[in-house]
Amino acid sequence: MARITSDPLVIGRVVGDVVDNFTPTVEMSVTYNLSKQVYNGHELFPSSVTAKPKVDVRGGDMRSFFTLIMTDPDVPGPSDPYLREHLHWIVTDIPGTTDSSFGKEVVSYETPRPNIGIHRFVFLLYKQRGRQTVTCPSSRRSFNTRNFAQENQLGSPVAAVFFNCQRETAARRR
């Protein structure tokens, strides 16, 4: 008998399209504009995600370091994402029990600007082997989270969350 899952990362195809199945072991919260918390599968407007979010890491200790990745697996559009993935942000060396502002931003935050369809914007948190052990990717285009994690010996993610976002029309901005 097939196992039915209610995991939003599986239902939203983050597990499968971006990463393999994993068990979260660290709590992570992502908040835009001090009040808009990211919940799996909820929609945020492009106008509300222009500034980089605060990402709290509640796990490990000050001797543990984490890498945060933000990626869009639906480029150029979700019906034919032949350019997947597009990298939006990487922060490394985030000490446990702190937030992303304590880490090293190696790829600057790029505002989501989906043109076609509803895009998923995925935040993934990985535990590093040690400090300064992650190398910067060569490009934002055609980024591959699985390959990046493997090349940097990050293993499986320890936390993940995603939101949906689509182009705002003038009527939707009102």
Domain ranges of the chain: 8-162
The pLDDT of residue 134 is: 93
Complete DSSP assignment for 8-68: HHHHTTHHHHTB------SEEEEEETTTEE--TT-B--GGGSSSPPEEEEESS-TT-EEEE
Mean pLDDT by 10 residues, the chain (174 residues): 70 95 96 95 96 93 93 94 93 96 97 95 96 91 95 97 90 51
Tell me the C-alpha to C-alpha distance, in Å, between residue 104 and each of 39, 90, 108, 143: 25, 8, 10, 19
In total, the chain counts a number of residues equal to 174
The pLDDT of residue 84 is: 86
The pLDDT of residue 6 is: 75
Going by C-alpha positions, the residue among 159, 130, 124 that lies closest to residue 63 is: 130
The pLDDT of residue 1 is: 44
Q: Please say whether the beta carbons of 124 and 146 come within 8 A.
A: no
Taking the C-alpha atoms of residue 17 and residue 60, their distance in angstroms, rounded to an integer, is: 28
Taking the C-alpha atoms of residue 55 and residue 103, their distance in angstroms, rounded to an integer, is: 10
The pLDDT of residue 162 is: 98
The pLDDT of residue 126 is: 97
The pLDDT of residue 83 is: 86
CATH class of 8-162: alpha beta
The pLDDT of residue 9 is: 96
The pLDDT of residue 56 is: 97
